[in-house]
Every structure is written in C-alpha cells, then in structure tokens.
Amino acid sequence: MHKHAPGFDQGAVQLEVFKHLFGSVAEEMGVRLQRSAFSPNIKERCDFSCAVFDPAGRLIAQAAHIPIHLGAMPLSVEACLRGLSFGPGDVAMLNDPFHGGTHLPDVTIVSPVFITPGHPPPGPWSPGAPGACIPAKAGIQGGAMAAQLRGGQGHGPQALLLGFVANRAHHADVGGMSHGSMPLSRDVYQEGIILPPVKLVEAGRVNQSVWDVFLANVRTPQERTGDLRAQLAANRTGLQRLQALVARYGLESVQHNMSALLTYSEMLTRQGIRHLPNGTYRYQDVLDDDGCDRAPVTIAVAVTIDDDEAVVDFAGSAPQCKGSINAVYAVTVSATAYVFRCLLGLDIPGNSGCMVPVHVRAPEGSVVNARPPAAVAAGNVETAQRIVDVLLGALAQACPHRVPAASQGTMNNLTIGGWDHERHRPFAYYETLGGGMGAGGGHPGADGLHSHMTNTMNTPIEALEYAYPFRVTWYGLREGTGGPGIYDGGRGVIREIEFLQDAQVTIVSDRRKSRPFGLAGGRPGHAGRNVLIRHGRERRLAGKVTLEVRQGDRVRIETPGGGGYGKREKA
C-alpha cells in the first residue's frame, strides 16, 4: 500500500519498525556476548539475556533470551538509578538479589547511553585503539577495552541520557560454600560474593579495586574475566547501535517511539485481560522441600481479573524457609510477567508497559518475597518454576483451552567443581536439564525441552567433555514419563555423567516427590529421580543434595515428564 493511500497509518508502521529496531539491538548484544564468552554455560547454553531500557529504567525491548532474567532486569536498572549517578563512560555491575538481582551467579552489567546532539556516532571499535586501563590480572594486553568504553560517549555538558543497555549472565562460580555457587545454603552469605550496584567502569576507566575484589572471591578467575569482558563488549555493541539509530532517525523520533511502545504494550495487555472473564481464580501447589527440612513448601495464588486489570496475590504462600528456595520479589514479578505474556500472545511488544495493568502482591517475608539474609540460590530456578505452575493452574479456570498442563516444574540444576589435575587449575561447571512439557488442548507436550523460566540450551556432550574431566555415558529421552491423556505430556530426559577425577557435586532439583499436574482430566507426569552409581551399585539421592564423588563414580539425573491433557477413554 502506498504511504498516501487511504487507511495507511504511517505512525503504526513506524512503531512496528522501531519495535524491531530496538529488539535487534538486544539480539545483536546477545550474539556479541555468546561469541565472546569463555564459559560453556554462556557460550554453549546461552545462559544470558540482553535488553534496552529508557532513562527511567523501564524495559523497552528484549532479545528472545531467558524469561527469569528479562522480567527482573528492570528492577536491577532501577536499583542502579537509586544508588548511583551515571556519566558518560560509566558501567555498573551488580548481583545482589535484594537490590534488583535474582541470585548471586546472575551478574548484571548496566551501561548508560549518552547522546550529544550534533556529534556523529562513534565508528567501529578498533582492537588496536590506544589506552591502558584494563586490570593486568585480567590478562589483557593494552587498553582496547578502555578505548571501546570511552569512545563516542559524548563528553561535555550537552550530553543527554537516551537510556540504558544491560545484560545478565549466569557465571559458573561466584564463590560461596560450594563449587558452582548453587549451594544448599542457610543464608545468602554462604552463596558467594555479594555486589550491590557499583561502578565497574567510571568515565571509561575500569575500577581496578572492584575488578580485583570480584576475582579474588571466585574459584575460576580466568573464566570469570573472559565472561565479564564479553558482557562489557555486549553492552558496547548495544550502545553503538542505539547511537546509530539516533544518527539515522533523530533523537526526537527515537525517544518518541520508546515512549509509544510502552503505551502500545500497555494498551494491548489491557485488551487481552479484558477478554478474560472477571472473577478470582485460585490455585496452589508445592515444592518438594527446601533442602533442609523434608516438609513440602506451599505456593498459593489468587488471580483477580477486573475489567482490564489483574491483581496477582500470593497470600497463603509459605513463610521464607531455612533452605535456598526463597525467591526475592524480582523473581516473582518476572514469573508473573512471563505467564501473562504467554497467555495474551507474543505479538505484544515485550516491555515494561505489559506489567502496568498487572499488580503483583507478595507478602514480605514469604517464600515468594524473602527478606535478607535469606538463602535464595534456588528461588530463582526452582521456586520460579512453581510460581509459573500455580499461575497457569489458576488461569486455566478462566481460559481452559488456552492453558497447557504443567511442564516438568524444575530446572534440574547440576553443579560440579574441583581441581583438574591434567590442566592444573580449578574448574566449576553448571547446567540445567530439560524435561517434559505439558500437553495442551490440541497438542501433546514436547519432549526434553527447557521450559518456562529457563529457555536455555543444553551443553553439547563434545563441549562438556572437552572442557571438563567428565564423560557423558547416557543422554536420551526418558520413555513413558509423560502424563497420559487425550494428549500426552512430553517425556523427560536422562543424563548420566562419569567422573574422571574426584569432584564435589550439588544437585538442586524438584518434582522428585510431587508430580507435574495434568489438566481437563489428563494425568500427571512422572516425578524425576537422582541416582549415584558407585562400584556398579545404585543409590537414590535426594532432590537437593551435595556430595563428594570419586573417580569412576557416575551421577544419573532423570527429569520429570509433563502433565497430560484431556481424559483418555478406556479401551
């Protein structure tokens, strides 16, 4: 259609173009991060997320990365804005769960984007740029990164803050009481180094003290250095791309479309909620235990739909626990945002406007809004999954044909660490494992996928065996584990690892006692199992356990299947 033809809405077309332009900035940041990272967890599993924010810290665009990261990152940017003042060339770093983070291994890097009207955007970064301000311990020759961080930031009184770019990546170790920093902890201090919002880079120069303190508290400083540099590089890419948008379309147009996208997403979300029947819908489920006590831990929710707004109230959920399954408020908000985004459709631009009509109430001091110094390492990975389950269970009552049965309901976290005698260095490995997806009205559940709040990839066997003293002896689908129904739930997986050297292993998993629920008469999926094999003899392990393994031992993780959908008639 010609732009002057009747019915042509140039504003709508421009908004759609900018939706994809901002999204492409975040996607390109992710490509830079993945291809630059050192650790298999980031470069192979893609356990990271990238996003673009406005000057107030509101999410404008995101890449198709990790839901648990993306829903919580606005709170990280807001925490930086409360605690820091930003100038050109600054970069903030944080991981504090009680100041916008989720759990300590997730390190967030936040960079302001300044624009100087009348100044051209920076050219491509040259690896040979002069300067010298990267820590010597990082093993970096010269100051290429310093020049990269300084260039094009618009020094001078006319520099305007356009917004922020940020990324969050799961580091395979940030210290703490066990290798991999996913311990069966009793408080957050046992989980690793805690970083409130602090400037890693100021006016283009790396803060040597912050860099040194971080590396001094981790088991694998060389790998951490490589991953941090990749995060800095990703933000630099985002900064350059946003500056290029301003150079091409003008500052006023870019700012206008940032604001317009927020308004547009809010409008579409309100329209989507309006199509749900008014009422209050309740559901509750449990986590198997908190890793310290054997008692189940209740997660309860009441979702109230009132015209074009929703109130999500987690009153009735268990008090915060001794163990590490406590979730901070950012995690609960993130899980809620994910469910509503899935329910209302992916055509809605994923930004902070989506959550304006959704009000999350989580009792302070509960397992879904823990107070410091609660242990929170598993809240981000396990409790988040159960929050999704109870929200879907509640909303299935409002729109039963749009909600699937429960997926596996756990991330099956596996961390392994020790000393590599061949390479003469410490190692720390982290991965999550996929399982069965819940079936829905009209389709079976998918097999062996990372579901809901994770969205990561698996670590390829070749990459794992190349980087660590392990051997994968079994990796495949777990037959017969999907819940029966008219449409069966998806199958879980089996992953068995043999240890070529002594090591410490921590497993943080759930749905080992409870099972993923079915819907519309479908049966629940099978629970998972964790097994230690020593001298040919199998020993069942708890869902949450830390143990010392010996050379030749094997650990097998069998992940849950998804719930079935629809009551199957007997033959």
**CA–CA separation, 509 vs 410, rounded Å?**
6
Q: What is the DSSP string of 198-232?
A: EEEEETTEE-HHHHHHHHHTSS-HHHHHHHHHHHH
Residue pair 407/526 in contact (Cβ under 8 Å)? The answer is no
Phi, psi torsion values for 152, nearest 5 degrees: 75, 15
Q: What is the DSSP string of 343-380?
A: HH-TTS--SGGGGTTEEEE--TTBTTBPPTTB--TTII
pLDDT of residue 124: 40
Amino acid of residue 550: R
pLDDT of residue 66: 74
Residue pair 489/482 in contact (Cβ under 8 Å)? The answer is yes
The b-or-e profile of 205-214 (16+ CB within 10 A means b, else e) is bbbeebbeeb
Q: Tell the burial category of 265 from Cβ atoms under 10 Å away from its Cβ (0-12, 13-18, 19+).
A: buried
Q: Tell the burial category of 170 from Cβ atoms under 10 Å away from its Cβ (0-12, 13-18, 19+).
A: buried
**Token pair for 418:** 């020790």
pLDDT of residue 100: 86
For the CA atoms of the chain, what is the radius of gyration? 24
Per-residue pLDDT of the chain (571 residues; tens, 9 = 90+): 445 555 546 688 999 999 999 999 999 999 999 999 999 999 999 999 999 999 999 999 998 767 777 778 999 999 999 999 999 999 999 999 999 899 999 999 999 999 987 665 554 433 333 222 333 333 333 333 333 333 344 444 578 999 999 999 999 999 999 999 999 999 999 999 999 999 999 999 999 999 999 999 999 999 999 999 999 999 999 999 999 999 999 999 999 999 999 999 999 999 999 999 999 999 999 999 999 999 999 999 999 999 999 999 999 999 999 999 999 999 999 999 999 988 987 688 889 999 999 999 999 999 999 999 999 999 999 999 999 999 999 999 999 999 999 999 999 999 999 999 999 999 999 999 999 999 999 999 999 999 998 878 888 999 999 999 999 999 999 999 999 999 999 999 999 999 999 999 999 999 999 999 999 999 999 999 999 999 999 999 999 999 999 999 999 999 999 999 999 877 5
Residue pair 428/172 in contact (Cβ under 8 Å)? The answer is yes
**CA–CA separation, 221 vs 171, rounded Å?**
11
**CA–CA separation, 452 vs 339, rounded Å?**
9
**CA–CA separation, 567 vs 67, rounded Å?**
31
What is the CB-side half-sphere exposure of residue 540 using CA atoms within 13 A? 6
**CA–CA separation, 457 vs 158, rounded Å?**
44
Residue pair 71/338 in contact (Cβ under 8 Å)? The answer is yes
Q: Tell the burial category of 233 from Cβ atoms under 10 Å away from its Cβ (0-12, 13-18, 19+).
A: buried
Phi, psi torsion values for 206, nearest 5 degrees: -65, 135
**CA–CA separation, 229 vs 451, rounded Å?**
29
Q: 179: which DSSP letter?
A: T
